[in-house]
Amino acid sequence: MLYVNEKNFEQEVLKSDKPVVVDFYADWCGPCRMLAPVLEQLDAAVAGKAVVAKLNVDENQHLAAKYNVMSIPTIIFFKDGKAVGHQVGLQSLQSLQRAVESLL
């Protein structure tokens, strides 16, 4: 799993040639911690086809504000440098896989 921040976000997310799933999270967030193993499973399931990344909102407040992240966890789907969808709250592996597959 890739960790992104304000320094590498453009290169790793916006310029990626694959769809990117970005989890906006915080270390203190209980639902975010519950989502972590689901994201690890998603990362394995979509390896080579899409990228799964995590972004700490406490350390990257500018990006969280830019993408209107009001609650966490928020997952934003990027394709061709643009945010093309999002899901808020704890999500199932199946829901995330369906969303990624729609971008492939």
Contact 49, 16 (CB under 8 A): no
49 is catalytic: no
Beta strands (DSSP E) in the chain are 2-3, 20-25, 51-56, 74-79, 82-88
Residue type, 28: W
Give the relative orientation of helices 30-45 and 93-101 as an angle to the nearest 10 degrees. 50
Q: CA 17 to CA 39: how far, in whole Å?
A: 20
Of the residues 2, 29, 36, 84, only one is catalytic, namely 29
14 is catalytic: no
Of the residues 4, 13, 20, 32, only one is catalytic, namely 32
Q: Which residues are catalytic?
A: 29, 32
